[in-house]
Amino acid sequence: DKGTYPFYMLKEIDEQPNVMRKLAQVYLNDAGDPVINTDLLAALKAADRLYVVAAGTSYHAGLVGAKLFESLASVPTEVHVSSEFAYNQPLLSEKPFFIFLTQSGETADSREVLLNVNEQKFPSLTITNVPNSTLSREATYTLLLHAGPEIAVASTKAYTAQIALQAILAKALGQAKQQSGANAFDVKQQLALVANGMQALVDEKDTFDQLAKADLLHTPNTFYIGRGLDYAVSLETALKLKEISYVQAEGFASGELKHGTIALIEKDTPVIGIITQANTAGLTRSNLQEVSARGAKTITIVTDALAKNDDTIVLPTVDERMTPLLSVVPGQLLAYYTSLNKGLDVDKPRNLAKSVTVE
């Protein structure tokens, strides 16, 4: 039931702080250490490489997860789009472990890969929001997202839940492998900070409504740009805008823009820069200046620690590896208000279904 909310999507965006707290409750003990099935941890520890396989928004969550697994657990991690992997399987490592990210647990493209993986007798984990879903039944292990039912077609809370759970799992694996970085990473504290930061953002709905009206409502196209994790989030925020507002949106690696795509920048093209990583903040700012000089209207989404006076949206500072959990929220709200102000059916965009059960 959506209660007083006009659309499920807004309700689900609002539920994200509680989803973060719920995951901490379910998967962390009082000391803040992960509580993960020991057989699953042993199987992960035995792997020489992780393969994260997913579609759409879940694929975007995988891009963030890979950074967490590499940074906290020192295990090489590849992320693949399931429909591509299914019929073009890359050369695998000797001891691969597969992680399927799927909100619904029913995505046919991802299931096709799992069937192949099972035939090859490789171990697998499905991270899903739906207990007893097909992919959870067919994988070796399952972890549940505990995000509550996601009704809106555009995925929001499942994305942030997938990232948070991968952070917990990466810490667990890092600790099992005696990685000092994993011990130092206080995931419990980080999730608490993230929950508070998300709450502060969703409490500012009017800001995003105004911004959507001013900059996105009448544009035919827009760009989200960033580097590293900010690039991963730019892909997700662009997808959100496309699918519910029908504005053509592209998520782009900010350094790559000048290698051709900058030709599309015209007077007043909105370009939204995501800046949360200290090592690339200056570079993305230069890239924003390049588009600004060609007439683009720039909007910035920046963490407190890296903010300057004229930044548009400032996010509270959290561990740099956790920033996607916050930087995505403005993108979710901008997409929501663009769609709402266009008078569209936010929860049921054209041509789309909640779970995609054909290949």
Using CB under 6 A, list all residues that contact ligand F6R: 55-58, 102-104, 107, 110, 154-155, 239, 243, 355-356
Residues in CB range of 119: below 8 A, 6 or more apart: none
What residue number has its CB nearest to ligand F6R? 56
- The residue (of 55 and 306) whose beta carbon lies closer to ligand F6R is 55
- The residue (of 79 and 306) whose beta carbon lies closer to ligand F6R is 79
Least distance between ligand F6R and beta carbon 153 (Å) = 6
Least distance between ligand F6R and beta carbon 102 (Å) = 3
Least distance between ligand F6R and beta carbon 78 (Å) = 18
- The residue (of 41 and 152) whose beta carbon lies closer to ligand F6R is 152
Closest of 359, 358, 354, 357 to residue 57, by C-alpha? 354
- The residue (of 207 and 355) whose beta carbon lies closer to ligand F6R is 355
- The residue (of 64 and 239) whose beta carbon lies closer to ligand F6R is 239
- The residue (of 107 and 284) whose beta carbon lies closer to ligand F6R is 107
d(C-alpha 358, C-alpha 109), whole Å: 7
Direct distance between the N- and C-terminal alpha carbons of the chain, in angstroms, rounded to an integer:
31
Least distance between ligand F6R and beta carbon 225 (Å) = 20
Least distance between ligand F6R and beta carbon 355 (Å) = 5
Backbone angles phi, psi at 30, to 5 degrees: -60, -35
With contact defined as beta carbons under 8 Å apart, do 237 and 331 qualify? yes
With contact defined as beta carbons under 8 Å apart, do 108 and 359 qualify? yes
Least distance between ligand F6R and beta carbon 299 (Å) = 21
Angle between helices 56-73 and 229-245 in degrees, nearest 10: 170
| Alpha helix segments (H runs only) across the chain | 8-14, 16-27, 38-46, 56-73, 82-85, 108-119, 134-138, 157-176, 180-184, 187-202, 205-211, 229-245, 278-292, 324-341
